[in-house]
A and B are shown apart, each in its own frame.
Chain A
């Protein structure tokens, strides 16, 4: 139980294009999902908190117009990197919290974005 999927697992795009990453909780409902990014050999940095049916809450320094988050249902959140540039290349990871349970987070397998 508590499986989180991400799609795509890997994406390569040209500079200036937009990329959408999906995060799904497969066997549970998640009122709250989180988006992180991780640079090589570093820890995870929280980008934003995504709540179903409301606007995402972004961490300080994260551009909300650059990283669009939509949490349309209790099992799906999407992160869109708009007008991507090479500095946006990173490993993006989502997590989900089981609705109505203890606040344990379960993580997706991550999406590796490379912007050329």
Chain B
């Protein structure tokens, strides 16, 4: 099956710092989503980004489908950005089934 690898596995930042989270995938995809799982377990949709670049406030994401990777940028990090960030993809032809990476645990310290 498709492999989804996220790096780094853990990240510790000082408040105000910027960061880049990476997602590599091993096959062609027709959907890629980034999520933030908050401390209560809720997955919050950050981006639906099978290709191209999007921005939403301090967050932005870029997916280069031909090179099979996606990047999530967090600028001016805040303590509320702490949590686990998941990348998930849908293989081309696999309906809507998402395959998740293992996640990146981000801790932003005041």
What is A's interface to B at a CB cutoff of 8 Å? Answer: 2, 32, 34, 38, 42-44, 46, 49, 91, 93, 95, 97, 102-107, 109-110, 112
Contacts and interface: CB of A to CB of B under 8 A. Distances in A.
Chain B interface size range: 20 to 34
B75 to A, nearest CB: 24
Q: Which of B30, B86, B100 has the most CB of A within 10 A?
A: B100
B42 interface: yes
B45 A106 contact: yes
Given A34-B96, A34-B97, A103-B95, 5 more contacts: A43-B101, A49-B96, A97-B96, A104-B48, A107-B42
A89 to B, nearest CB: 14
Given A102-B48, A103-B90, A104-B33, A46 B41 contact: no
Contact of A43 (B96, B97, B100): B100
Given A32-B96, A97-B96, A110 B41 contact: yes
A103 B48 CA distance: 9
Interface of A is mostly: strand
19 contacts: A32-B95, A43-B86, A43-B100, A43-B102, A43-B103, A44-B86, A46-B98, A49-B95, A91-B41, A93-B41, A95-B98, A102-B31, A102-B48, A103-B95, A105-B96, A105-B98, A107-B35, A107-B43, A109-B41
B31 A112 contact: no
